[in-house]
A and B are shown apart, each in its own frame.
Chain A
Amino acid sequence: MSEWVDACAVDDVEEEDLIRFDHDGKTFAIYRSPDDDFFATDGICTHEHALLADGLVMDYIIECPKHNGRFDYRTGEAKGAPVCVNLKTYPVKVEDGRVFIDVA
Chain B
Amino acid sequence: MAKRDYSLIGPNASRAVETGLASAEWYHTDISRKEMKALMKRSDGPAIRDTIVWLGGMAAFAGAAAWLWPSLWSIPFFLAYGVLYGSAGDSRWHECGHGTAFKTRWMNDAVYQIASFTMMRNPVTWRWSHARHHTDTIIVGRDPEIVVMRPPDLLRLALNFFGILDVWHAVIDMARNAAGIISAEEKTFVPEQEQPKAIFVARIWVAIYAATAAAAVYTGSILPFLLIGGPRLYGAWHHVMTGLLQHGGLAEDVTDHRLNSRTVHMNPVSRFIYWNMNYHVEHHMFPMVPYHALPKLHEMIKHDLPAPNTSILDGYREMFPAFLRQLRYEDYFIKRELPPTAKPYRAEFHDVAPQAAE
Contacts and interface: CB of A to CB of B under 8 A. Distances in A.
A92 B251 CA distance: 47
A47 to B, nearest CB: 8
Contact of A81 (B36, B103, B127): B127
Interface string A41-62: 0000001110000111010000
Interface residues of chain A: helix, strand, loop or mixed (majority): loop
A98 interface: no
Interface in A44-100: 47-49, 54-56, 58, 63, 65-68, 70, 81-82, 84
Contact of A68 (B23, B100, B194): B100
B288 A63 contact: yes
B42 A68 contact: no
Interface in B164-214: 191, 193-194
Given A56-B37, A81-B194, A82-B128, A67 B42 contact: no
A17 B37 contact: yes
A70 B128 CA distance: 15
A70 B135 contact: no
A67 B98 CA distance: 7
A58 B23 contact: no
B65 interface: no
Contacts of B193: 84
Contacts of A84: 191, 193-194
Interface string B28-49: 0000000011001010000000
A63 B37 CA distance: 12
Contacts, number: 43
A20 B328 CA distance: 50
B123 to A, nearest CB: 9
Given A56-B40, A81-B124, A70 B99 contact: yes
A48 B23 contact: yes
Contacts of B98: 67-68
B127 A82 contact: yes
Given A48-B23, A49-B23, A68-B98, A56 B288 contact: yes
B40 A82 contact: no
10 contacts: A65-B288, A66-B134, A66-B135, A67-B98, A67-B135, A70-B99, A81-B194, A82-B131, A84-B191, A84-B193
Given A68-B100, A81-B124, 19 more contacts: A47-B131, A48-B135, A56-B37, A56-B40, A58-B42, A58-B103, A63-B288, A65-B286, A66-B134, A66-B287, A67-B131, A67-B135, A67-B287, A68-B99, A81-B128, A82-B127, A82-B128, A82-B131, A84-B194
Interface of B: 23, 36-37, 40, 42, 98-100, 103, 124, 127-128, 131, 134-135, 191, 193-194, 286-288
Interface of A: 17, 47-49, 54-56, 58, 63, 65-68, 70, 81-82, 84
